[in-house]
Chains A and B, each alone.
Chain A
Amino acid sequence: MQTVSASASLTSNYAPGSLLSVNQLPVADVSAILSETARVASLAHAERTAILRGRTIALLFYESSTRTRTSFELAAKSLGATTTLVSDKSSSIEKGESLKDTGLTLRALGAECIILRHSSSGAPYVLARETGLPVLNAGDGMHEHPSQALLDLRTILTRLQGAAKAAAVNERSLDGVTVTITGDIFHSRVARSNAMLLPRLGARVLLCGPPRLLPEDALGLGPRIEIERDFDRALVQSQVVMMLRIQKERLSGMELNLADYIGRYQLNGERLLTYAPSALVLHPGPMIRGLEISDDVADGPQSAIEEQVTHGLATRSALLARALNAGSFKGSNK
């Protein structure tokens, strides 16, 4: 409608190869990323390190991170790229430099791609617009964590359908698969990215959690998303269950009775055996053992938590090749 269109969409202002939101990826692009992920994972060391040899990638981290930062850094290095890490705690960011200026500085130093982790939703859009560089969103506030959703997808496909089926997808690849995401949905960028990506490949997503952590507004994320507040009822229907951490740092005054929460929503051995004895268990980390997940489940045979981390490395390698127009993406960027 004319009256509500403000300035024209800014989508064209992002460099090709940027990944700011899973919604920017048509299914064909998701498939191409999976295919490149599988290919990179199978390459010998020498071939792999040739992919981004001589290229420079900056990691810009405004929030603490273990696995995402290390994963992106190792992924870049495994492809032969030079990396530099800038974190808010040890840089001019502490002196008040703006995101735009930090980005322009990194660009002037030769960065060809910036991987950004930021506590503010939408920050990667600012960086991508202002630098014109491909930007990979490594988690922005409560908004999205697209590389996590892609590695979760690869993990699900590999475990449910075998490695051979994890190298390509279409709109029906996850037909008949129900994925339950349980916990602090409101504060979770992982939940948002997965809930917006997986249904486009045929999955049904059940969101589970108390109203404070899972408002009805979540249904607006997209089609084939439902809310099921009873965890046991959700589990019975699920082939995949993804557990989320309570994000204490983002609760901002919200009160939560942890004992009650554990009673209703913890994934423990007994609950899993009773309601979902063959479901795949995922967790994006960091886990708080004894809170949202019990030891026996985290370390048990249904858990793919470590595999997620391994798949993350390969998936992020593919995203970097894509961002820098390399690997099988060479010459494919419009």
Chain B
Amino acid sequence: MSDILILNGRLIDPANQTDAHRDLLLRGGRVAAVEAPGQLGSVQAAKTIDAAGLIVAPGLVDVHVHLREPGQTYKETITTGTAAAAAGGYTSVVAMPNTVPVNDTVEKLQWMLDDERGSVIKLFAMPAATIGSMGERLTDFEALRRQGAVGFTDDGKPVLEDHIMRAALIAAARAEVPVSQHAEDTRLTGGCSMNAGPMAFRLGLRGMPVEAEARIVERDIQLLREIERSEGLRPHLHVQHVSTARAIHEIQQAKREGLHVTCEIAPHHFALNEEAVGEYNTHAKMNPPLRAEEDRLQMIRALVDGVADCIATDHAPHAVFEKKQEFERAPNGITGLETALGLALRVLHRERGVSLTRIVELMSTTPATIPSLAGRGSLGVGHYADVVVFDATEEWAFRVDDSRSKSRNTPFDGSPMLGKVRYTICEGRIVYQE
């Protein structure tokens, strides 16, 4: 691959405490030089990008995506999903295991990560924590780890049984990866399709109570405490798509206590509240559901003050016919890879004054560290040449018809976005260019 020079941009690289004008040379898939403007004038490169007026940052990292391959390629494929990711500024994504069949063996993991799948960017995977994600028997954490697993999760479902979750946390601690938990006490959410409260009552829909999320988070934190004490291990719990103030409070307490807990917040949980369900809009149906306005505001505070570690999209493509159903029958989830940066910049940066450095930290620096993606999320010399170049000031409206995803299930069609990706470069290759 040929050399790329990125000149005159404002480099925001929180891992190196950099927010300054810098020129970058990408060579051999790595960052070869980061210099003050003008210092790389004599370097000849096959491609030169003039990033004047633009932000240059480490490529975005999403620790929570559903690419639907194998088994549900009518919704998305690894190729289309990662193309959408590239268009959204992402250079690394972590695929969830709830494919058909479930990614729960070394063979399936290898198949998913194989170059033949045609991933446009760097693809990682978290295999299932239990076989078939049935919550009964653990998968082979050690073997899967050796084949590149960056964590374990039964996402879509929680690991409900206490002793299974305890065993998973211990096995993951030994493999030095996190257990990523979909925190939902499904004993409280049977038949539920949106957030519990007056709106669900008015629509005649059964509501998921806040406690369903909070209880599992509390239980898991208690397990961490107990394992640290009795096993001398330090397990890492990653709480997926936190949506309630109650769960944030629990996570904050656990962090103060020194336990190894991280968490993610999805863009829809800081950009929308339950009102978006409107007249049974299935594009506002996801799990966890859109919550009350107080919860939404608490998600924003958590992203600002550091209780929340990262933004993750929970990109969940579904076919049109699946969403054009009765609200209670329609599947959960929305696409998110192409709207995450535009929403973060509009809602967090412009409306709440969150710094660009913090946005990059939430979308690249920290999510790269949660599953320990070595050499990612930073643009220090020697790191992977994973770069996003974006205009942080351009206002635009997302149009679902322009999406690279195979699916169209988004509540953000026509919504205002701030900040436009100009280039996405993964390991020195331009994978998206506006």
User: A residues engaging B (CB < 8 A)?
Assistant: 2-11, 20, 98-100, 118, 120-123, 125-126, 130, 140-144, 186, 189, 192, 196, 215, 217-221, 252-253
Least CB separation from A21: chain B residue: B279
Contact of B279 among A3, A10, A221 (CB under 8 A): A10
Task: Say which residue of A2, A99, A142 sits within 8 Å of B325 (CB atoms).
Answer: A99
Of A9, A121, A215, A218, which is within 8 A of B280 by CB? A121
| B179-192 to A contact mask, C-beta < 8 Å, 1/0 | 00000000000110
A-B contact list, 6 entries, CB within 8 Å: A3-B271, A7-B412, A11-B279, A122-B327, A143-B203, A192-B202
Instruction: State how many angstroms separate the Cβ of B45 from the closest Cβ of chain A.
Output: 41
Q: Which residues of B contact A125 (CB under 8 A)?
A: 279-280
**CB-CB nearest in chain B for A2:** B416
In whole angstroms, how far apart are the Cα atoms of A95 and B321 in the complex?
16
A7 touches B413 (CB 8 A): yes
What's the Cα separation between A11 and B326 when bound, in Å? 17
Name the B residues within 8 Å of A3 (CB-CB): 271-272, 347, 351
CB distance from A223 to the nearest CB of B (A): 13
A6 touches B327 (CB 8 A): no
B330 to chain A: closest residue by CB = A126
Query: Is the pair B281, A10 in contact by a Cβ cutoff of 8 Å?
Result: yes
B188-226 interface code vs A (CB 8 A; 1 in, 0 out): 001100001111111111010000000000000000000
Among A6, A121, A143, which residue has its beta carbon within 8 angstroms of that of B278? Answer: A6
Given contacts A9-B278, A215-B201, A252-B191, A120 and B329 within 8 Å (CB-CB): yes
Q: What is the distance, in angstroms, from A219's C-beta to the closest C-beta of chain B? A: 7
Cβ-defined contact, B327 with A121, below 8 A? yes
B296 at interface, CB cutoff 8 A: yes
How many whole Å from A107's CB to the nearest CB in chain B? 15
Q: B293: CB under 8 A from chain A?
A: yes
* B114 adjacent to chain A (CB < 8 Å): no
| Minimal Cβ-Cβ distance residue in A for B322 | A98
Question: Contacts A3-B272, A4-B293, A98-B321: A218 and B201 contacting too (C-beta < 8 A)?
Answer: yes
For the complex with contacts A142-B204, A143-B205, A192-B202, 14 further pairs of A-B residues with Cβ separation under 8 Å are: A2-B416, A4-B275, A5-B276, A7-B415, A8-B414, A11-B279, A98-B325, A121-B280, A122-B328, A126-B325, A141-B204, A143-B203, A215-B201, A252-B190
* Residues from chain B with Cβ under 8 Å of A189 in the complex: 204
The 3 A-B residue pairs with the shortest CB-CB distance, nearest first, are A220-B198, A143-B204, A122-B280
Which residues on B sit within 8 Å (CB–CB) of A20?
279
B378 in the interface (beta carbon within 8 A): no
Chain A residues near B296 (CB, 8 Å)? 4
Closest residue on chain A to residue B274 by CB atoms: A4
Residue of B202, B328, B329 with most partner-chain A CB within 10 A: B202
Report the Cα distance A7→B280, complex, angstroms: 12
* Measured CA separation A302–B66 after assembly (Å): 60
A126 and B280 in contact (CB under 8 A), knowing A4-B272, A121-B205, A143-B204? yes
Chain A nearest CB: distance from B76 CB in Å? 21
Q: Which residue of B lies closest to A144 (CB)?
A: B204
Please determine whether B272 and A6 come into contact, CB atoms closer than 8 angstroms. Answer: yes
Residue in A6, A126, A142, A218 whose beta carbon sits within 8 Å of that of B326 in the complex? A126
Q: Is B411 an interface position by the 8 A CB rule?
A: yes
Q: B264-279: contact bitstring with A at CB < 8 Å (1 yes, 0 no)? A: 0000000111011011
Interface-central residue, A4, A11, A186, A196, by most chain B CB under 10 Å = A4
Chain A residues with Cβ below 8 Å from B351 are 3
